[in-house]
Structure 1
Amino acid sequence: MKVGVDIGGTFTDLCAVDGTGIVAVGKVLTTHDEPARAVEAGLAALFADAGIAARDVEQVVHGTTLVTNALIERKGSRTALLATAGFRDVLEMRREHRYELYDLAIELPEPLVPRHLRFDVPERILADGSVHIGLDEEYVARLGRELAARGIGAVAICFLHAFTNPAHERRAAEVLAEVAPGLRVALSSEVVPEIREFERASTTVANVYVQDLTERYLRDLEHRLRRLGVGGAPHIMLSNGGLATVDTAARYPIRILESGPAGGAIAAASLGPADLLAFDMGGTTAKLCLIADGAPLVTHQFEVDRKYRLLPGSGLPVQVPVIDMIEIGVGGGSIARIDALGLLTVGPDSAGSEPGPACYGRGGTEPTVTDADLVLGYLDPAYFLGGGMTLDAAAARAAIGRIAEKLGVSVEEAAWGIHTSVNEDMANAARVHAVERGQDPAKLPMYTFGGAGPVHGAGVARALGAPSIVAPPAAGVLSAAGFLTAPLAFDFVRSARAAVRDLSWEQVDALFAEMEAEGTALLAKSGVDDVTHRRIAEMRYSGQGYEIRVPVHGGSWPDTLIDEFTATYRALYRRSGPEVGVEVLNWRVVSSGPVPDVTLRLASTEPAGNARKGSRKAYFPTADGFVDTDVFDRYRLESGDRVDGPAIVEERESTVVVPPGACCVVRGDAGLEVTV
């Protein structure tokens, strides 16, 4: 028995899987003040309801938004930065790029380290790794004693060109350990040994800033699991779709920044065709991710806490491997309002789980997407979370009514406006995301999941021009289920900029071998003997500012690598580049253990047949408003069953809306495919 646990902004999702498939799922409200408390309570309820003995659980895989929230809310440790003399202000100078050129009131996130805690350290290593100015160890020692005396809990060390020669960073850490052993210290040469000073400093600071908080949380989680009777330490989902031990996650917490959304992407990849669009809509945000050739795309450029319309360049950059997805501030709890221009807008702020949407009856009064969906008849107030929570329809109507009054329309029309506004926002974001990566979203099936995803899936697909949507088994908790399909894995990187024609295969192979040995050793500590390595080069035309990821194979060197680069470039941009040389900036290795043999299929014991539960009024403007809509029990539908719209298919954690003119067919894997 294996269990996946995903802590989201509104709900904590749980999923138990054995050799037959998905045997139990659960969803409880997230406890933001103490996230592990919801995990413990949710698991206890899941075990009791499904008759699972805690001692039979072999593995718990966990994903969390803890790191993201700590960075956004500035709830980490008091942190100092040690930089090469003359470079302490790199965090504030950034790249001097204006993400909104003509906005005179442009806003950027405050650095995690204030200026009075950023220090110029006398030392200098040149680009080739040679020492120009030796490290002033006495200065570092004095500084360490002073920081400890002032109650500073963490120190990030980011020296110029440390990715080429880390000697000064390592020696500075040794000095700090001698004079102030209580300080947490992070080295850029360990956290992110890559070129680009600002991103390297920002990532190293963010890592040590949340390290204490993350480690305390993970140790609390381990304690609570032991108290439940679950044996063995949990594994933690990484942002790149791999798994790590608690010790590794505690050392590199920045690697679990996007651990929750990663689970849904890899689950969709394991269930669907080679190419698809994964759409995850929960209570706080919606995420869209392209699956290409059976795997999610991965990027190494990510931003936290974007300040302006979610525009790139307006947040804190974090240079770690993450599944390449676009995140939109619209979810079931997203708040609707009328802006200064009299227009309806939704999100990005959310009612979350505390107090939640108005219909939750927990003190919330703001109109949200969930309130709108309830007013439209898409949700059953008596069957939310399988009847575990009763929704207050009157409170939802009252909240949406305030929007309707300002717009001069009916409550139903206001609710429909909120619903379609969300759909259009997500479709527009998906279109841009796909086109920028060389894909046509109108040709891709869309896998939709999360608690709110199947409700909005058909509407998003129609706005996008996609041919169909698929709501996989256990769609409401698919991210938690997806954790169980991921192998133990970790990424390694070395920056070594050079023209491809100037390199020899012996040089490159030695660099890869070093990283592969590191990966083998790290995974061996987790008991993994069967380790595979994937080699990647980050390449660009000489003179370009950014690079693309290219797979590295053997063969005729260097022509093979240049051919791979040309093919990858053409696939992305539909053209070849200029007639100039090609260079490599970074070399990467992804070390992975075996992929778990897990079946993401509902192992339901409920008898088939009599799937129709009844009917209720649901709102569809194309059918002139409210119409009688058949409601079906997903657990009683059989493979091959067809449901014509308008219809609603309910399960405990999510609801699939089949609009008029669409049809829903139950696939062989128990997924619901809606042709829109």
Structure 2
Amino acid sequence: MNIQNPDAPIAASYRIGVDIGGTFTDVVMLDPATGKLLNEKVLTTPDDPSQGVLNGVTRILSTGAAQASSVQTVIHGTTLVANALIERKGVKTALVTTKGFRDVLEIGRELRYSIYDLFIDTPTPLVPRSLRFEIDERMTSDGTVLRAPDPTAVSALADDLRAAGVEAVAVVFLHAFRNDENERAVKAQLAEALPGVTICTSFEVMPQIGEYERTSTAVANAFVQPIFGNYIARLVAEMARLELPEDLFLMLADGGTVHHDTAVRYPIRLVQSGPAGGAQAAAVFGRLAGEPDILCFDMGGTTAKACLIQDGEALKTDNFEVARVFRFAKGSGLPLQVPVIDMIEIGAGGGSIAQVDKLGLIRVGPESASSKPGPACYGLGGARPTVTDADLVLGYLDAASFLGGDMALSKEAAEDAIRRELAEPLGLSVVDAAWGIYETVNESMAQAATIHALESGRKVQDFTLLAIGGAGPVHASNLARRMGVRRVICPLGAGVASAFGFLASPTSFEFVRAAIEPVAALDLERIDAMIGELEEEGRRLVTAAGVAPEDATTSVGALMRYVGQGYEVEVSVPRSVVVARDTGEIARLFEARYAQLFGRTEAMDIEVISWRVLVSGPKPVLEPTAALSEGPALKGHRAVYFSEAGGFVDTPVYDRYRVKAGARIDGPALFEERESTIIVPPHAVAVPDVHGNLVIDLSD
């Protein structure tokens, strides 16, 4: 508010990030002029996620005494796309494909995630066979049109689709990643014949080699596009009613942001938007702490994920799976070819339910109590024990100070649930059963994170663990010790870090074009022209989202491999090398990258699989300030369970907002803030830095 003249127009300056999680919706508001950060958590509203967004935004504006008209930007990340795929709550979708290939979704790959299981479960296709239609068309492997689709046949197809009552259609033809002429022709005719039906082609969504993966991705995009479009339209209308900016920005799974118009065209590229925001936040916090190599550990209410950040940048990939039949089994889900930050789902979240399995062991997840009914301790109707219930029983959480005291927890309800479901069936005490939940979760996460690093050609011990998410700091030190990691960073506001990460992400969009050619025979003149066209389209998208034309930058990369290999390596290729037509330098860049990853090179021919063009605006430079309060930091003591100490220990509890930078605090200790609690185990040392990061040294 303008104090000197209340009637003067308020300059739009605040930036708001909103992340919808399975349990909570997190909201962060930043004043770029001062670096001041405010955050809020509200329960997610699964029946209408937009309501949780609006509740959170309204609440944080009230907390900050700010007006809606003073908000410059709202950036949103959502689980809506992933949830629609996991829960199969998209629209009735059809697949139109090349004659003879309607069963690609059923056949899948030859790879089996469980080699010796004769009764292996595979994900059910999003489109049943009755809604998979064939067109007699053909494109050769080099992109030459061998047979164009017959307009009469397409007209008859339109009648069949209309009769079937489909709401979306994915058009996927063989070798269309080379040339989309036939896909475009069919789409144009169907769009005219079927007004109101969503139609997307595989070339638009992700033109890459991989017939099954490309089909799966295009189908998934069509499956969620109408519901996502309706959600965004409803949310934008409500924002306008509240006098918030009508231009909403969405977080992509690769760490960039786009205008909502672009996001509606490619909703599948938002499938991991929330965790991508967490990775972007971790990169910022790591930079502030002087740690460029970070293992980001993000544990929220539903899942826990990990990703590696090297030299300040999150590692990326274009292969991702969703809706796995077996949660941690690679190959058991629906494959998606979209640019994503390379991360692994490594365990359960705070709301994950614990139970006794058929072998008489404690198993945690994958079922979650979510926000409704929630963990037993929430008192909202949940009766089954969760990770949060175990954390409360072990003293890691305080029933009276959860969410800053806004949400009272019931320790008695948590103990009753654990006793009934775990302790009595296993003949354990409630505390031992709670410790079993904690140990089970941490051990599975440590193993998965270690393997994830090894699969990336790196050792997890070379990284510093940075914990975010509401439950991340509760489990971080125990997890780090299991992996041999000796340093842990817990940033201020870790529980809402993903929403903060949205504000740290540049406006960007990545294009991919397949071009399978030996490096020695590359037609770099043609490739340079293709890159120029993609750059022009990318600049149009990012400038439409508010980026000044002079601030838009372009980077070029290629997926490359040795001829005959089944695994590609992404290589950064300066545009100047393409302009200079220097195929030898492209080969040298590949070999340098290959040697970095695998420690050797091969005497084999090299080929390019696809080209990537990333157009982006400037990355926001954020220097959040740690708003500390005056007064004594020590709040009191409570009994906290530490196995290395043999049981419960009377442990000091500190107000995170009152601990001064540079103070040395020996473990065991607890640091409470509104969104999370940090556990510092015995024989560890915690020191807050000037940016609000709590740095924990576990080397003792």
**Pick aligned residue for 2:655 from 633, 646, 665:** 633
Deviation at 1:227, TM superposition (A): 2.6
**Pick aligned residue for 2:563 from 542, 554, 568:** 542
**Pick aligned residue for 1:551 from 566, 569, 572:** 572
**Pick aligned residue for 1:50 from 64, 74, 97:** 64
One-letter amino acid matched to 1:182 = G
| 1:357 aligned partner | 375
C-alpha contact (below 8 Å) 1:471/1:672 kept by paired residues:
yes
Structure 2 gaps, min length 5:
1-13
The separation in 2 between residues aligned to 1:506 and 1:326, in whole angstroms, is 39
**Pick aligned residue for 2:457 from 420, 435, 438:** 438
| 1:579 aligned partner | 603
| 1:496 aligned partner | 515
| 1:531 aligned partner | 552
**Pick aligned residue for 1:590 from 614, 631, 635:** 614
Deviation at 1:601, TM superposition (A): 3.3
**Pick aligned residue for 1:612 from 614, 634, 640:** 634
Whether 1:518 and 2:518 are equivalent positions in the alignment is: no
TM-score (norm: length of structure 1): 0.98
| 2:505 aligned partner | 486
| 1:163 aligned partner | 177
Deviation at 1:504, TM superposition (A): 4.3
SS where residue 348 of structure 2 aligns?
coil
| 1:413 aligned partner | 432
| 2:265 aligned partner | 251
Correspondence 1:550-569 to 2 at 5 A: 550-553=571-574, 554-555=576-577, 557-569=582-594
The separation in 2 between residues aligned to 1:522 and 1:231, in whole angstroms, is 19
Deviates more, 1:517-526 or 1:380-389: 517-526
The separation in 1 between residues aligned to 2:457 and 2:545, in whole angstroms, is 38
SS where residue 58 of structure 1 aligns?
strand
Percent identity over paired residues: 52
Whether 1:28 and 2:47 are equivalent positions in the alignment is: no
**Pick aligned residue for 2:207 from 181, 190, 193:** 193
Deviation at 1:623, TM superposition (A): 1.4
C-alpha contact (below 8 Å) 1:58/1:232 kept by paired residues:
no
C-alpha contact (below 8 Å) 1:22/1:599 kept by paired residues:
no
Deviation at 1:571, TM superposition (A): 2.0
Deviation at 1:417, TM superposition (A): 1.3
C-alpha contact (below 8 Å) 1:15/1:22 kept by paired residues:
no
C-alpha contact (below 8 Å) 2:315/2:341 kept by paired residues:
yes
SS where residue 491 of structure 1 aligns?
strand
One-letter amino acid matched to 1:62 = H
1:325-376: per-residue Cα shift (whole Å, max 9, x none)?
0013400011111111111111111111110100000111111100000000
C-alpha contact (below 8 Å) 2:347/2:441 kept by paired residues:
no
Whether 1:372 and 2:390 are equivalent positions in the alignment is: yes
Deviation at 1:12, TM superposition (A): 0.5
SS where residue 416 of structure 2 aligns?
helix
Whether 1:6 and 2:19 are equivalent positions in the alignment is: yes
**Pick aligned residue for 1:102 from 89, 93, 116:** 116
| 2:156 aligned partner | 142
**Pick aligned residue for 1:315 from 329, 333, 343:** 333
C-alpha contact (below 8 Å) 2:347/2:445 kept by paired residues:
no
| 2:141 aligned partner | 127
| 2:346 aligned partner | 328
The separation in 1 between residues aligned to 2:524 and 2:139, in whole angstroms, is 27
The separation in 2 between residues aligned to 1:5 and 1:475, in whole angstroms, is 14
Deviation at 1:407, TM superposition (A): 2.2
Deviation at 1:271, TM superposition (A): 2.0
| 1:59 aligned partner | 73
Deviation at 1:137, TM superposition (A): 1.2
Deviation at 1:195, TM superposition (A): 1.1
1:18-70: per-residue Cα shift (whole Å, max 9, x none)?
12224311111111110011111122122212212211111110000000000
The separation in 2 between residues aligned to 1:158 and 1:511, in whole angstroms, is 22
The separation in 2 between residues aligned to 1:525 and 1:8, in whole angstroms, is 29
| 1:624 aligned partner | 646
Deviation at 1:228, TM superposition (A): 2.5
One-letter amino acid matched to 1:137 = P
C-alpha contact (below 8 Å) 2:377/2:409 kept by paired residues:
yes
**Pick aligned residue for 2:233 from 219, 227, 231:** 219
**Pick aligned residue for 1:404 from 406, 423, 427:** 423
C-alpha contact (below 8 Å) 1:438/1:574 kept by paired residues:
no
1:95-125: per-residue Cα shift (whole Å, max 9, x none)?
1321101112211111111001101101111
1:575-602: per-residue Cα shift (whole Å, max 9, x none)?
32x3210100000011101112322333
| 1:475 aligned partner | 494
The separation in 2 between residues aligned to 1:139 and 1:329, in whole angstroms, is 49
1:555-592: per-residue Cα shift (whole Å, max 9, x none)?
4722222222112112222332x321010000001110
**Pick aligned residue for 1:427 from 446, 464, 467:** 446
C-alpha contact (below 8 Å) 1:276/1:445 kept by paired residues:
yes
Deviation at 1:133, TM superposition (A): 1.6
C-alpha contact (below 8 Å) 1:481/1:600 kept by paired residues:
no
Deviates more, 1:236-245 or 1:37-46: 37-46
Whether 1:116 and 2:130 are equivalent positions in the alignment is: yes
Deviation at 1:232, TM superposition (A): 3.3
C-alpha contact (below 8 Å) 2:626/2:690 kept by paired residues:
no
TM-score (norm: length of structure 2): 0.94
SS where residue 61 of structure 1 aligns?
strand
The separation in 1 between residues aligned to 2:624 and 2:557, in whole angstroms, is 30
Deviation at 1:146, TM superposition (A): 2.6
The separation in 2 between residues aligned to 1:207 and 1:377, in whole angstroms, is 44
SS where residue 657 of structure 2 aligns?
helix
| 1:454 aligned partner | 473
1:50-96: per-residue Cα shift (whole Å, max 9, x none)?
21221111111000000000011111111111101111111111113
| CA root-mean-square deviation | 1.2
C-alpha contact (below 8 Å) 1:289/1:326 kept by paired residues:
yes
SS where residue 379 of structure 1 aligns?
coil
SS where residue 665 of structure 2 aligns?
strand
SS where residue 210 of structure 1 aligns?
helix
Whether 1:302 and 2:302 are equivalent positions in the alignment is: no
The separation in 1 between residues aligned to 2:143 and 2:568, in whole angstroms, is 23
1:138-188: per-residue Cα shift (whole Å, max 9, x none)?
111111123123321111000111121111111111111222122110011
The separation in 1 between residues aligned to 2:95 and 2:314, in whole angstroms, is 35
